Amino acid sequence: MFNLIPLLIIFPLIGLVINLFWGKQFGEKGVGAIASGAAGLSFVIAVLQLVGLINNSFESVTVPLADWIVIDKLNIPWAFQIDTLSVTMMLVVTGVGTLIHIYAIGYMHGDVRHNGDPARFPRFFVYLNLFLAAMLILVTGNNYLMMFVGWEGVGLCSYLLIGFWFEKGENNVGNARAGRKAFVVNRIGDWAMLLAMFLIFVTFGSLTFNEVFHQAEEMSALNSPVIVAITLLLLVGAAGKSAQVPLYVWLPDAMAGPTPVSALIHAATMVTAGIYMITRSHVLFFHAPISQNAVALVGAITALFAATIAVGQFDIKKVLAYSTISQLGFMVAAIGMGAYVAGMFHLITHAFFKALLFLSAGSVIHAMEHGEHARHEPAEAHGHSAHNQPSAISNQQSSDPQDMRNMGGLWTKLPITKWVYLIGALALAGIFPFAGFWSKDEILLDASKHNPLIYLLLTIAAFFTAFYMGRQILMIFFGQPRTEAAKHAAESPRVMTYPLIALAVLSVLGGALNLPTIFGMHLPGGHALTEWLGHTLGEVEAGELDLIVAGISTVLALGALALSYAIYRNKPATAEERDPLQALGPLFIALNRKWWVDEFYDFILLRPYNWLAQFTANVIDWRFWHDWFHDQVIGGLFNIFARGLAQGVDLGGVDLIISGLPAAISRGIASSFRRLQTGYVRNYALGVFVGVVGVLGYFLLTGLR
């Protein structure tokens, strides 16, 4: 059963190859079916691994496939690590991934037409399958290098998919710029990952998880500098991939990608790679409490910081993007406190409800785009009616389908989307009994026990979380439709809504994965995830429902929802009206401008960097190296040298001896012989005569012998 593990990665690769070469012939349904089928088969394999582990009494298994790099001491196999942690990730990645693949069939059908290039449909699924393969390499590898291969692979796919409509966006390069930003910011994290891997190899002489952790446990010295360095570098790597402060800035821009990408890569799976990586390295972090504190602090600050920014956003996906950063902060904070199970639990539930939210947002956007088209079609049908009311059409020609100010009143238009969106929002806000409540509560519980500061930060972040979700729900679904597009919005097709319903069910029931002990009562199936992951992560304390912690967070969440209701009930009434929170003045502007972090980075990093690049290019490279050194010094010296060679040696020496001298000789000979050829036959005849006389005379004088 474990021998099937390579198929986990091979299935998406097969799907990729088929769609890459023959995708155009299959049509959209065929392409979608192949890609989703590949993802679904991978999910089946992942489930088989789960069954295998249960039969193997949860013992971890390593399945070697091939030697990869064998150089002296460095021995890196291509091997799969199957334990409860990696299987958890496999199930999340393939399960949520499959649902998103199915959803994308419907979403991309509309999206490629909205963006005017239906031929690009198969490419999207090629990228999605490639991403799935890379992500599965990341979570199944049994060494850091294999993980890094997947790590870079998902980064590449993220880049490709953010820039899927690379010719669109601001100034026609906005999306391409967003992709580049994500790639470059991730590069900082990857740089740290590489340094950490080098340090690990230098210190432990291996990159295989088991060997590294085994040796780290034997060192058993707390806070040894090298382990602190390794773990801090790993933290930077995780901060890049999982969008933590200060490297989170790429994730909001990454929303330029199509919505299924935002759901799959930038909410459910890829961005959790950092969480997985730190959890996987928990042995190293255990020996470096300093780094652990740093991890927890980074997570908590990110959670709060991003949650505040989410309050001030108008783009439906930007809100969810900052929400994702904030929730990732929760997870990072949890694993920083050693609550790995709580972090992983939140990772799983978050994958459910955030994928749900993104896909529902995609459904809303889809509906808005549909409304936009539906509004234009009648106008085109009755050609002249457009002439009668030109102002009405040109007025709202370019209403942004992602701007929440353009929505409103969609409650009656989207019968399925509204419910799943509400479920996702309540799960994210942490309302009992949805999945988010249980996982977030477990994190808060751990924080309340271990670190009051973290607890405080996370609790405030949770309050903001509920508030901005309430704000979003109210702005999208309630009040009056604020644009024509919102008035004409229509529900998405079933291929989109069914995955939404599946994810909604998971978002409702996901908490059952790891129910805490309630009132000292051990529920059936309680602590399932704790025990399950305990086989890999060692003994982890089982959570107990703390009424105070749970009560505070629930009251805060409900309070935040109520507050948002009070503020945003029937507001804003029109698309042009100010957001009620704009009464806060500069504070709201700060939130809306994302605390000017992008501008700050622009000021301290990009401008100096660009200036330095300009300087080195124009002054150092061009003026110094090119104009002065190359042209003047090298070129001048070369010219002098060449002139000496040409005139002195070549013309004066070589030419004189090789061509001048023989030429002069032959010219001399020729000029004397030339006189012989007079053209007079008599002269020639005389020559012949003299010759004959000479020969005969010779014979006569010497005798005819």
Residues that bind other proteins (CB under 8 A): 674, 677-682, 685-686, 689
Q: Which is nearer to other proteins, 523 or 690 (CB)?
A: 690
Q: Would you call 215 exposed, middle or buried from its count of C-beta atoms within 10 A (0-12, 13-18, 19+)?
A: middle
- For residue 389 the two structure tokens come to 């009311």
Query: Least CB distance from residue 678 to other proteins, whole Å?
Result: 6
Q: Min. distance of Cβ 679 from other proteins in angstroms?
A: 3
| 84-114 vs 494-509: helix crossing angle, rounded to 10 | 150
**Sign of the Cα pseudo-torsion (49, 51, 56, 59, in order):** positive
* Euclidean distance between CA atoms 568 and 566, whole angstroms: 6
Residue with smaller CB distance to other proteins, 518 or 686: 686
Q: Measured from the CB atom, is 681 or 701 closer to other proteins?
A: 681
CB atoms within 10 A of CB 293: 14
Element (H, E) at 76: strand 74-82
Instruction: Give the shortest CB-636-to-other proteins separation in angstroms.
Output: 51
Task: Tell me 287's DSSP state.
Answer: T
Of 649 and 686, the one with the shorter C-beta distance to other proteins is 686
Q: Among residues 453 and 686, whose Cβ is nearest to other proteins?
A: 686
In the bound state with other proteins, the residue whose beta carbon lies nearer, of 519 and 673, is 673
- DSSP-derived letter for residue 168 is -
| Phi-psi region at 473: left, alpha or beta (left = phi > 0; alpha = psi -120 to 50) | alpha
Return phi, psi of residue 403, to 5°: -85, 125
403 contacts 372 by C-beta, under 8 angstroms: no
Of 128, 132, 138, the closest CA to residue 258 belongs to: 128
Amino acid at 574: T
Shortest CB 673 distance to other proteins, Å? 10
Looking at beta carbons only, is 71 or 681 nearer to other proteins?
A: 681
Residue 606 to residue 337: CA distance in whole angstroms? 34
Taking the complex as a whole, the smallest distance from the CB of residue 682 to other proteins amounts, in Å, to 6
Q: How far is the CB of 627 from other proteins (least distance, A)?
A: 59
For other proteins, the closer of residues 389 and 666 by Cβ is: 666
Sequence-separated contacts (24+) of 617-625 with Cβ below 8 Å: none
Residue 52: other Cβ atoms inside 10 A: 17
CA atoms within 13 A on the CB side of 472: 35
Instruction: Give me 247's structure tokens.
Output: 């490297």
Angle at 560 between CA 256 and CA 244, to 5 degrees: 40
- Helix/strand/coil (H/E/C) assignment for every residue in 373-388: HHHHHHHHHCCCHHHH
Residue 231 burial class via C-beta count within 10 angstroms: exposed 0-12, middle 13-18, buried 19 and up? buried
Q: At what angle do helices 84-114 and 5-55 cross, to 10 degrees?
A: 140
Nearer to other proteins, 600 or 689 (CB): 689
Contact (Cβ atoms closer than 8 angstroms) between residue 294 and residue 407: no
When the beta carbons of 73 and 674 are compared against other proteins, the nearer one is 674
- How near is the Cβ of 660 to other proteins at its closest, in Å? 25
Rounded to a whole number of angstroms, the minimum distance from the CB of residue 672 to other proteins is 14
Minimum CB separation of residue 656 from other proteins in Å reads 29
Q: Kindly tell me which of 205 and 668 has the beta carbon lying closer to other proteins.
A: 668
Alpha-carbon gap, residue 478 to 81, rounded angstroms: 49
Kindly state the smallest distance separating residue 680's Cβ from other proteins, in Å.
Answer: 6
Q: Which of 651, 685 has the CB closer to other proteins?
A: 685
Q: How many whole angstroms separate alpha carbon 675 and alpha carbon 519?
A: 133
Min dist CB 696 to other proteins, Å, is 12
332 touches 343 (CB < 8 A): yes
Nearer to other proteins by C-beta: 398 or 677?
Answer: 677
Minimum Å gap between C-beta 695 and other proteins is: 15
CB of 674 to other proteins, least distance (A): 7
